[in-house]
Amino acid sequence: MTDLRPLTTPPSLDEIAALAHEAREALPDPFRAPARAVAIRVEDFAPDDILAEMGIDDAFELTGLYDGIPLTEKSVMDQPDRPDTIWLFRRPILDEWVEREEVPLPALVAHVLVHEFAHHFGWSDDDIAAIDRWWE
């Protein structure tokens, strides 16, 4: 797992991205390779147009977003104009991390990432629970 420096400053975009890439590599074998085809982007906040499209007024409410066509809906007829992407939003993730004092940051980043991969793979709640033991 990425070794975060002593937290005298908040983790950077690159450090959150490194945690996300490690979480993707920790996915079970059947999902790891197809998950590598999904781009991961880390930004401080969701862009205004995404927030407006989703009807979200407070940018701190959105920690992650899957942008793409779920595998369960893809067709050979689809002509994507960009890769499927999982967006992680650093500032809302860090705020949630501070609120949840007992949850390590790598676990929280992995949880958000797995939730977004659930949209990509079309996972049920039971599928998510088998991969992300978050609620135990």
Helix (H, G, I), strand (E, B) or coil at 43: strand
Helix (H, G, I), strand (E, B) or coil at 69: coil
Q: Would you state the structure tokens that stand for residue 101, as one six-digit string?
A: 């004092």
Residue showing tokens 């779920």: 70
Q: Specify which residues 39 forms β-bridges with.
A: 85
Q: Which CATH class is domain 13-71+82-131?
A: alpha beta
Across the chain, mean pLDDT equals 87
Residues 133 and 114 sit within 8 Å (Cβ to Cβ)? no
pLDDT of res. 81 = 73
pLDDT of res. 4 = 57
Residues 66 and 119 sit within 8 Å (Cβ to Cβ)? yes
Q: How confident is the model at residue 3 (pLDDT cuts 50, 70, 90)?
A: low
pLDDT of res. 1 = 54
Residues 135 and 129 sit within 8 Å (Cβ to Cβ)? yes
Q: How confident is the model at residue 11 (pLDDT cuts 50, 70, 90)?
A: very high
Predicted confidence (pLDDT) at residue 17 exceeds the cutoff of 60 = yes
Specify the pTM: 0.85
Amino acid at 43: E
